[in-house]
A and B are shown apart, each in its own frame.
Chain A
Amino acid sequence: MAELILTRNFDVPDAHTIRVYRERGGYQGWEKAKGMEPVAIAEEVKKSNLRGLGGAGFPTGVKWGFIPKGSTAPRYLVVNADEGEPGTFKDRYLMERDPHALIEGMLIAARAIGSHLGFIYIRGEYVQPWRILSAAVKEAYDEGLLGKNIQGTGFDFEIVVHRGAGAYICGEETGLISSLEGKKGWPKVKPPFPAVKGAFGQPTIVNNVETLACLPHIVTRGAEWFAGLGTKTQGGTRLYSVSGHVVRPGLVEAPVSVTLRQIIYDHCGGIPGGRALKAVVPGGASAAILTPDEIDIPMDVDGPKSKGSMIGSAGIIVMDETVSIPDALMVVARFYAHESCGQCTPCRESTGWIYKISHRIVEGKGRKEDLDTILDVARRGAGTTICAFYDGAVGPYISYIEKFRSEFEELIRNSVHA
């Protein structure tokens, strides 16, 4: 079994306290980073091939570089801890079991981008993680790791923990910023991008919890080591949240070169009850569904993409042969209809419409034109919206129908309208 990095403290008692975290080597990354030039930190992160682990997979070091050169405006570091992608629960583990890894990662990132104020936007439902994380932030302040003139370095950094109120869209980085600003969590029209004009109109970098938790390891052990853990285009390990029909569901840490088959069958013990695998969602609900013959792919950014899907948040949902795909489509369609922020037209109108059609099909009132209507509506809306939410919805809409069309047609054939 490969070395554990992000989960190395998960089973250590009291690892969420600063004392144990330090005993386990915590804050050594910061000790090193505080003596480094900000540019050198960013370079190191670029070389590490660290890619955003929230969903989009964008190279982290490159993202940091989007803050306009020479800008003297205050710049903010915002942590996206609004983990809401269905099937994903990795950030929760990190914040509950190793919250100082996030705080240390924030310190390193803040130094690299020159930020003196960080916000952790944590999902409102994450009450326990919020309590643990807040206690950890307090500890870090008490130990002089946060605040003014940290450890005499002259570097200031404050952290504000802000709880969300339960909307999936607030995990979209500009929706998150709107919500953080006290507004309705509507994604913003881009350009301008957050690195230029983000929270409260200032340059802002939004990074995912897990992404930031990688930073102490990159700084401590070097970019080459981190890059070497993964594939050519993505370094490190990552946390795969595995749910559904596997013998051992839960969190799996593995190098990003691990295949989906290995995760399902080796790490999670395969499908229970000797039943057959029917479908897998590889990267949270927004990722296109895969069939059993599509699981021999590395679970880095590129693997699922090669099958027309995406790694997304690495939330793996395994479905065995007992699952009705039309039912599954209706459930995800209901989710997107419920969570669409309603700001822009294609998403606002068609998520509700597609849910109604998918629900009607499951109710046995499908019409023969329904499947083509869903596919056409989804394709018409794709790529036309303010944010990626709708494209995320289109992933399941199209793939569920295209890959399991006969199952839908069977239902429709027996419907009252057929």
Chain B
Amino acid sequence: MPRLTVNGKEVEVPEGTNLIEAAKAAGAEVPHYCYHPALSIAGQCRLCMVDIDKVPRPQIACNTQATEGMVVHTETERVLETRRSMMEFHLINHPLDCPVCDQAGECFLQIYYMKHGLYDPRMVDEKVHKPKAVPIGPHVMLDAERCIVCSRCVRFCDEITHTGELGIFQRGDQSEIGLFPGTALENKYSGNVIDICPVGALTDRDFRFQVRVWYLDTAKSVCNGCARGCNVEVHTNRHRPHHNQGRRVARLKPRFNAEVNQWWLCDEGRYGFKWMDDKSRLTHPLHRGGGEGAEVSWDRALPELVKRLQGCPPDEVGLLASPKMSNEDLWALRRLAEHLGVRNLDFRVPPSAPGDEDNFLIRADKNPNSRGAELIGVAPDPGGRDAAGILRAARERRLKLLWIFHHDLAASGWPEAEVLAAIENTETVIFQGTNANDVSARAHLVLPSAAYVETEGTFTNFQGRVQRFRTAIPPLGESWPDWMILSVVGKALGASDPVFSAERAEQVFNALAAAVPAFGDMTYRALGDAGRMVTA
């Protein structure tokens, strides 16, 4: 562990740490473009030069390892002058089209130029022209003129996805990023090149021209697209509702978590948020007596539900929970089932097709909280029915009430006819979820759930890591978080469990932690941004 001094401050860093990271540890930022901690050292941008005592010339910090006793200066006049020079070089052929560039506001050419610019352009000659607005894959748009040839995207495709679609072609100031002939940037992680592009060369075809980034709000969250639970930021557009085609969620961006997804996010997760603002969202409770359903208030819907639950023998109730629900939702449901004495409880509905999986991030289980459901015990009690048993019992008219959470059963791995027969043959079908589907269209009572980005809570990923997601936007319409619906129902049924008097997800989680050993040593707040592992 070498000890070195950066700008007069002594720090100790692990062997092999480069001077960008060592400076960061000492609280100093060394501007850089090509360096990325996940990628090999390219040394191309030449922006990260720092002065080192006893070394005659400034050195690139990215390729210089910290050694014992090294004395580093990141802000000498010579270093600042070098940065000004490099910024000028980076910009002489840059189109300076910030007003129409999506990257504006989060562009490191802008950010560093504010601090290190010459502010007096000397370039009077014609700039080099290169291809603009070239779609290089389903998600990524290339503007080669804006590119500073840092090669991060090339190294990403070479070293992270090992797909190698991108290269740098030509040479000198004609150098440009491009696809190798016969390829397209369509690997499952292609969107990450947009994130690591420090400038506006690679922009997001889904996001571009939707909303300026300075209008966006951000919330820390967790992708719900598979059991990995990649850490994300949800970027929402609340201040310019007329932008982004009226949608509130503008984009998802990966958030670093060393143990889960590092810097990355798969495309399926990244672009899998459209359902949140989709027209199919359920916004009001619906009651369907005999014919058409009618929007009703919660004040009418919940007493109706309570009445029907009370009128049912517990063994004629089936609860089909969803691994898309949070730990808090599932714990509230588990407690409600216990209060009611319902033993027919499960969450395992087979998918219509096996999910794809790779050896990087993507998991075959497309649910964010299967592990949580297992640990919480969302499973039949002795003598109860599992998911398939519940479906069969419903089909055979042995259930009076079937309460389905989130599942689009008609599109599941179960034969559609059997699902529809089960619905048809059950006296009361309750659907609780975020979006309408073939089951909600036939349910007697439809309860609108808030999407996970509209509430807060925790998921337990396949590794057993319990991770918090936070509220990015308010619930749509009259939708409520699932745990809240369940706690109101529990309370109305006279259950005394503290879960049913909770006002915040935190209280539900802490109650869960007090009751289930796997979560035993956790508190909601101590989960932090990186989450905690359950006790084995």
Contacts and interface: CB of A to CB of B under 8 A. Distances in A.
Nearest to A169: B171
B148 interface: yes
Interface residues of B, number: 37
B153 to A, nearest CB: 15
Contacts of B42: 189
B125 A348 contact: no
A351 B88 CA distance: 13
B172 A381 contact: no
Interface in A319-350: 337-346, 348-350
With most chain B CB atoms within 10 A of its CB, the pick from A349, A353, A385 is A349
B173 A352 contact: yes
Nearest to A338: B172
B187 interface: no
Contacts of A24: none
B170 A189 contact: no
B44 A386 contact: yes
B65 to A, nearest CB: 9
Given A353-B92, A353-B125, A384-B85, A345 B45 contact: yes
Contacts of B148: 345
B93 interface: yes
A367 B128 CA distance: 20
B70 interface: no
Given A189-B42, A189-B43, A384-B82, A348 B175 contact: yes
B174 interface: yes
Given A339-B172, A342-B172, A384 B125 contact: no
A351 B126 CA distance: 14
B85 A352 contact: no
B46 interface: yes
Given A348-B172, A351-B173, A352-B128, A342 B149 contact: yes
Contacts of A349: 89-90, 92-93, 173
Contacts of A367: 124
B41 interface: yes
Interface residues of A, number: 34
B122 interface: yes
A187 B405 CA distance: 59
A341 B122 CA distance: 24
Interface string B35-52: 000000111111101000
Given A338-B172, A351-B173, A345 B128 contact: no
Contacts of B86: 345-346, 384
Given A348-B149, A357-B125, A342 B85 contact: no
B122 A348 contact: no
Interface in B3-34: none
B168 interface: yes
Interface in B162-206: 167-168, 170-175
Interface in B491-515: none
Interface string A2-19: 000000000000000000
A277 B92 CA distance: 38
B42 to A, nearest CB: 7
Contact of B44 (A184, A340, A345): A345
A340 B172 contact: yes
Given A348-B175, A352-B128, A367-B124, A380 B44 contact: no
A341 B172 contact: yes
Contacts of A272: none
Chain A residues touching B, majority SS: helix
Contacts, number: 95
B170 A342 contact: yes
Nearest to A344: B44
Interface in B401-423: none
Interface in B123-177: 123-126, 128, 148-149, 167-168, 170-175
Nearest to A167: B171
A184 B168 contact: yes
A189 B62 CA distance: 10
B173 A346 contact: no
A350 B86 CA distance: 10
Contact of B90 (A191, A338, A345, A383): A345
B240 interface: no
Contact of B49 (A169, A337, A384): A384
B425 interface: no
B125 A342 contact: no
Interface string A362-386: 0000010100010001001101111
Contacts of B44: 343-345, 386
Nearest to A187: B43
A346 B44 CA distance: 9
A388 B310 CA distance: 84
Given A340-B173, A342-B175, A381 B89 contact: yes
A225 B175 CA distance: 49
Given A349-B89, A381-B89, A384-B82, A341 B46 contact: no
Nearest to B89: A349
B93 A352 contact: yes
Nearest to A383: B57
A356 interface: yes
B487 to A, nearest CB: 59
A373 B122 contact: yes
B63 interface: yes
A380 B85 contact: yes
B125 A345 contact: no
A360 B125 CA distance: 9
Nearest to B84: A380
Nearest to A356: B125
A356 B173 CA distance: 12
B173 A348 contact: yes
21 contacts: A169-B171, A337-B172, A342-B174, A342-B175, A343-B149, A345-B44, A345-B47, A345-B86, A346-B86, A348-B172, A351-B173, A352-B173, A353-B123, A353-B125, A369-B122, A380-B85, A384-B46, A384-B58, A384-B82, A384-B86, A385-B46
Complex A-B, nearest 9 residue pairs according to Cβ-Cβ distance, in ascending order? A342-B175, A352-B173, A189-B43, A380-B85, A340-B172, A356-B125, A349-B89, A342-B171, A344-B44
Given A339-B172, A342-B175, A353-B123, 5 more contacts: A337-B172, A342-B172, A345-B47, A353-B125, A380-B85
Interface of A: 167, 169, 184, 189, 191, 337-346, 348-353, 356-357, 360, 367, 369, 373, 377, 380-381, 383-386
